[in-house]
Amino acid sequence: MRDGILIGEGVVLDARPASFATRGLALFLDMLVLLVLVLASLFAFAWSLDSLELDMATAIVIAFSVLVMVVIPTTVETLSRGRSLGKLALGIRVVRDDGGPVRFRHAFLRALVGVGEIWLTFGSVALVASLTNDKGKRLGDMAAGTYAIRVRGGRPTLVPLVMPPFLGAWASHADMRRLPDGLALAARQFLGRADRLHPASRARLGQELAGQVERYVAPGPPPGTHPETFLLAVLAERRDRDRATAQRAQAAAHEQAELLHRLPYSVPDPTR
């Protein structure tokens, strides 16, 4: 149903999984960058490896391999919230299954499993896993609970939130609890694409979403209110209430800041 998700930074992303070709090309670019890094490092330190004992040289090579295959990918994905250089170039991002940004644990598991399914098998295991999964997940994604989505391309259509005039009085007095982000976004996306849906699907989805939203609203809308009109009224009212709450909080913070600059509180500073 949903064409978008709300990640932790409050950014709406296209939730459609990235195609295998896009992911593969992003992976190729990442590995190309790492290969250049490896070759440059080996060229820079080749003279020093010749003078080391075999055990020491082996330990350095192992440590360098761990750095390239695990540490660097983990660090990059953690700091960029799922966007390595290749993914950035191809317009994709790795997110959690719930749409949230990846953390260190997710990036580390992806990189650790990637040692076997990408580096040691030349990507063949990752290829088979991605082609057999409906979201294009490789084994590292399955272990970490992540997948890659497109963040560039067609933007989700968001319908303008305008309060229906005949529901304004009801909405202003209704008790509306905060809607879960996923439900609010699903309703917003549905309203934006409703005119492109099959009439039967449009009616069914509208009634289903209206029923879910109505659990957070009391009293319910006037009898005979169309589900889509009800959704539009609730979203518009919640937006206006959130905006008013934010404005009151900003005004209170400004007033508090002014009081804190007086010595003592609420007493004007003495003139010199």
pLDDT tens-digit series, residues 7-17: 433 334 446 78
Average pLDDT estimate for 70-85: 91
| 106, pLDDT greater than 90 | yes
Which residue would you say has higher pLDDT here, 90 or 265? 90
Give how far Cα 86 sits from Cα of 22, 80, 83, Å: 10, 12, 8
Whether 6 is in a domain gets the answer no
Within 10 A of 181 (CB to CB), how many other CB atoms are there? 14
Three-state secondary structure call for residue 187:
helix
Task: Please report, rounded to a whole number, the percentage of residues in the chain having pLDDT higher than 70.
Answer: 84
Q: Are residues 81 and 39 in the same domain?
A: yes
Q: Which of 2-6, 18-22, 152-156, 165-169 has the largest mean confidence?
A: 165-169
Tokens representing residue 209 in the block: 């979403």
**Domain assignment of residue 15, yes or no:** no
Confidence (pLDDT) at 215:
94
**Total Cβ atoms within 10 A of residue 93:** 25
Does residue 156 sit within a domain?
A: no
Together in a domain, 186 and 97? no
The model's pLDDT over 27-63, given as tens digits with 9 standing for 90+, comes to: 889 989 888 888 887 777 766 666 667 777 788 778 8
Strands (E), the chain: 4-6, 12-14, 92-96, 146-150, 175-176, 217-218
Last residue of a domain, one of 150, 184, 209: 150
Are 35 and 103 members of one domain?
Answer: yes
Find out whether 106 and 144 touch, Cβ atoms under 8 Å: yes
Q: What integer pLDDT is reported at residue 214 of this predicted model?
A: 94
Beta strand 12-14 pairing with 4-6 = antiparallel
Q: Is residue 33 part of a domain?
A: yes
Provide the 3-class DSSP secondary structure of residue 79.
helix
Predicted local confidence at residue 10, as pLDDT: 39
Asked if residue 79 belongs to a domain, the reply is: yes
Is residue 1 predicted with pLDDT exceeding 50? no
Spatial CB neighbours of 123, under 8 Å, sequence gap ≥ 6:
27, 117
Q: Check residues 22 and 50 and name the one with the higher pLDDT.
A: 22
Q: Is the dihedral of CA 214, 219, 225, 228 positive or negative?
A: negative
Structural domains of the chain, count: 2
Tell me the C-alpha distance between 152 and 216, whole Å: 33
143 and 170 part of one domain: no
Contact (CB, 8 A) for 89 and 32: no
pLDDT at 272: 54
- 176 and 235 co-located in one domain: yes
Task: For 202-268, give the DSSP string.
Answer: HHHHHHHHHHHHHTTEES-PPTT--HHHHHHHHHHHHHHHHHHHHHHHHHHHHHHHHHHTSSSTTSP
Residue 268 domain-assigned (yes or no):
no
Count of C-beta atoms within a 10 Å radius of residue 192: 16
* Residue 112: pLDDT over 50: yes
Spatial neighbors of 29 by CB under 8 A, at least 6 apart, are 85, 86, 89, 90
* pLDDT tens, position by position, 134-184: 888 999 999 999 999 887 654 555 667 889 999 999 999 999 988 887 888
Mean pLDDT, rounded, of the chain: 83
179 and 140 together in one domain: no
pLDDT at position 8: 39
**What is the per-residue pLDDT for 262?**
63
Q: Please identify which residue in the block is written with the tokens 């010595």.
A: 263
Range of the domain at 49: 20-150
Q: Let me know whether 174 and 143 are in one domain.
A: no
Q: What is the pLDDT of residue 98?
A: 74
Q: Average pLDDT of 111-139?
A: 89
Q: How many CB atoms lie within 10 A of CB 39?
A: 10
Q: In the structure, what pLDDT confidence band is assigned to residue 256 with cuts at 50, 70 and 90?
A: confident
Q: Report pLDDT for 158.
A: 60
Counting Cα atoms < 13 Å in the Cβ hemisphere of 118 gives 21
Q: Mean of the pLDDT values across residues 86-93?
A: 89
82, 129: one domain? yes
Q: What are the distances in angstroms from CA 116 to CA 57, 136, 138, 139, 143?
A: 23, 18, 11, 10, 13
Residue 72: predicted pLDDT: 92
pLDDT at 9: 36
Residues 206-231: tens digit of each pLDDT: 999 999 999 999 999 999 999 999 99
Do 235 and 133 have their domain in common? Answer: no
